[in-house]
Amino acid sequence: MRCAIATLVALALLAGTVGVAGADQTGWLLRQADLEVARLTGELPAESSSWDADGEMGGATTVPTRSRRSPAVPMLMSLVVPGAGEAFLGYKRGYLQIALDAASWYGAIHYDQKGEDKKDEYYAYADVHWSEEKLDAAYDENYLDRPDANFDYSSVVGEGADYFSTAENEINNYTQLPLWVSVEEDRREYYENLGKWDQFVFGWDDYTDPRDFLDTDVIDIRNLQDPRTSAHREVYRDMRQQSNDYFGNRDTFIYLSIAFRMFSVLQVAYLEGLLFGGDGGGPADEPEKIEIGGHEVDFIVEPMGYSRGMIAAKVSF
């Protein structure tokens, strides 16, 4: 009898080492062993399991298990929305990053609209104060002989040809200009050229020959850069620069949003234990290593001076 009891006790102790998943199959052994000892000694063993009023085993603790998942999931979330991966892992700072990204996109959209509005404004300004027909008169010395001639442009006839024709390249038509493009061909470049290049200054309605205010007969292309040549061109240039500045601010916010994404992805990689010896997994589930074809992927981040760095992934075969 004592041998049988010892055997039951040994089986009970062995059953105690089985995981919680096998509790239904081993619980009856624990109960039978404890009851047999109690029958002989009058008391339950000190290390006995506790029993409830219905005779069922109680007090058993279940060892939590952490599901395994790929860290690519939160990393992809952070790539799409910075901070989303951190929030998924249970870090509240992820919500701050999401808010910052939303603010950066608001700034980008805001300045993009301001840039577009200012662009429409300087386009309209050019339509009022610059004329392709006047530019045509400036590069055609026989313009006044044409049946469609506008005599309001008589003061500028031939001046463009005087300034930009050379012995090797005589220009007698504005369409021969190297940078000429019609509004139908490229609207953006058409309006850019009106204020950017001196060869198109003759089309502004307030064009003044520099020889008039410099009191000289010398034809010098550099004199066309004088602001007094056309005040309207200077206003146009300022408006265009404002538009470009707005677009520059837009791009800054977009670059900031991209930086948020890079930072968020790297931070998730750290939290998942893929970079810099991160803790791996944080308060959420335990991560798996990223693998390609069964081969583990190592991420490499290496700073290179103050302004450059390298981010790479390495797979060993």
- Domain segments of the chain as ranges: 2-58
Has residue 8 got a pLDDT over 60?
no
Higher-confidence position of 22 and 85: 85
- CA of residue 305 relative to chain centroid, distance: 23
Tens-place pLDDT, residues 138-168: 999 999 999 989 999 999 999 999 999 877 7
Q: Provide the β-strand partners of residue 57.
A: 51
What pLDDT is stored for residue 300 in this prediction?
A: 61
Residue type at 98 in one-letter notation: I
* Global pTM exceeds 0.75: no
Report yes or no: 127 and 195 within 8 Å, Cβ to Cβ: no
Tens-place pLDDT, residues 260-316: 999 999 999 888 888 765 555 444 444 555 566 566 666 565 556 555 656 666 666
Q: Indicate the range of 46-60, 68-82, 290-304 predicted with least confidence.
A: 46-60
What pLDDT is stored for residue 71 in this prediction?
A: 80
DSSP code for 213: H
| Spatial separation of the C-alpha atoms in residues 67 and 10, rounded to whole Å | 33
Residue-averaged pLDDT of the chain: 78
Share of the chain above pLDDT 70, in %: 64
User: Other CB atoms closer than 10 Å to residue 156's CB: what's the count?
Assistant: 20
Has residue 53 got a pLDDT over 60?
no
Q: Provide the β-strand partners of residue 302.
A: 310
Has residue 97 got a pLDDT over 60?
yes
Report yes or no: 202 and 135 within 8 Å, Cβ to Cβ: yes
- Across residues 38-64, what is the average pLDDT? 51
Higher-confidence position of 251 and 313: 251
